[in-house]
Amino acid sequence: MKRTLALLATCATALGLTTLAGPQAVAATGCKVDYTITSQWQGGFQAGVKVTNLGDPVSGWTLKWTWPDSGQKVTQGWNGTWSQSGSTVSATNLDWNRSLATGGSADLGFTGTFTGSNPKPTGFTLNGVACTGSTGGDTPTDPGNPGTGTPLSVNGQLKVCGVNLCNQYNRPIQLRGMSTHGIQWFSKCYNSASLDALANNWKADLLRIAMYVQEQGYETDPAGFTSRVNSYVDMAEARGMYALIDFHTLTPGDPNYNIDRAKTFFASVAARNAAKKNVIYEIANEPNGVSWTAIKSYAEQVIPVIRAADPDAVVIVGTRGWSSLGVSDGSNETEVVNNPVNASNIMYAFHFYAASHKDNYRATVSRAAAKLPLFVTEFGTVSATGGGTLDRTSTTAWLDLLDQLKISYANWTYSDANESSAAFKPGTCDGSDYSSSGVLTESGALVKSRISTTDNFPTS
> Is residue 286 flagged as an active site residue?
yes
Least distance between ligand IDC and beta carbon 381 (Å): 11
Q: Which residues are 66's β-sheet partners? A: 88, 122
Q: Residue 451 CB: number of other CB atoms within 10 A?
A: 23
Give kind and range of the element (H or E) at residue 83.
strand 81-85
Least distance between ligand IDC and beta carbon 449 (Å): 22
Q: How many C-alpha atoms does 200 have within 13 Å on its Cβ side?
A: 11
Of the two residues 249 and 273, which places its CB atom closer to ligand IDC in the complex?
A: 249
Of the two residues 68 and 388, which places its CB atom closer to ligand IDC in the complex?
A: 388
Instruction: Answer for the pair 166, 172: CB distance below 8 angstroms, yes or no.
Output: yes
Least distance between ligand IDC and beta carbon 210 (Å): 7
Please state, in angstroms and as integers, the Cα–Cα distance from residue 28 to each residue in 55, 105, 126, 127, following that order. Answer: 5, 16, 13, 12
Q: Which residues are 106's β-sheet partners? A: 51
Of the two residues 150 and 377, which places its CB atom closer to ligand IDC in the complex?
A: 377
Nearest to 275 by CA among 228, 225, 309, 315: 309
Instruction: Answer for the pair 93, 404: CB distance below 8 angstroms, yes or no.
Output: no
Q: Which segments within 319-436 are labelled E, that is strand?
A: 346-353, 374-380, 409-412
Of the two residues 137 and 386, which places its CB atom closer to ligand IDC in the complex?
A: 386
Of the two residues 31 and 355, which places its CB atom closer to ligand IDC in the complex?
A: 355
Instruction: Answer for the pair 176, 451: CB distance below 8 angstroms, yes or no.
Output: yes
Task: Count the helices and strands in the chain (H runs, E runs).
Answer: 11, 19
Q: CA–CA separation, 326 vs 409, rounded Å?
A: 19
Residue type, 403: D
Pairing of strands 409-412, 374-380: parallel
Q: CA–CA separation, 410 vs 415, rounded Å?
A: 13
Q: How many C-alpha atoms does 99 have within 13 Å on its Cβ side?
A: 3
- Helix, coil or strand: residue 245: strand
Q: Which of 237, 282, 335, 378 is catalytic?
A: 378
Least distance between ligand IDC and beta carbon 203 (Å): 24
Instruction: Answer for the pair 193, 406: CB distance below 8 angstroms, yes or no.
Output: no
Q: CA–CA separation, 214 vs 220, rounded Å?
A: 8
Of the two residues 286 and 455, which places its CB atom closer to ligand IDC in the complex?
A: 286
Nearest to 314 by CA among 283, 286, 350: 283
Interface residues toward ligand IDC, by CB under 6 A:
215, 250, 285-286, 322, 351, 353, 378, 384-386, 412, 417, 419, 421
Least distance between ligand IDC and beta carbon 426 (Å): 12
Q: Which of 286, 333, 335, 419 is catalytic?
A: 286
Which strands make up the sheet holding 73-78, listed edge to edge?
31-41, 44-53, 105-113, 73-78
Instruction: Answer for the pair 349, 323: CB distance below 8 angstroms, yes or no.
Output: yes
Least distance between ligand IDC and beta carbon 315 (Å): 18
Of the two residues 107 and 286, which places its CB atom closer to ligand IDC in the complex?
A: 286
Of the two residues 218 and 353, which places its CB atom closer to ligand IDC in the complex?
A: 353
Q: Which residue is nearest to ligand IDC (CB)?
A: 386
Least distance between ligand IDC and beta carbon 355 (Å): 11
Distance of CA 106 to the CA centre of its chain: 15
Least distance between ligand IDC and beta carbon 237 (Å): 24
Catalytic machinery residues: 286, 378
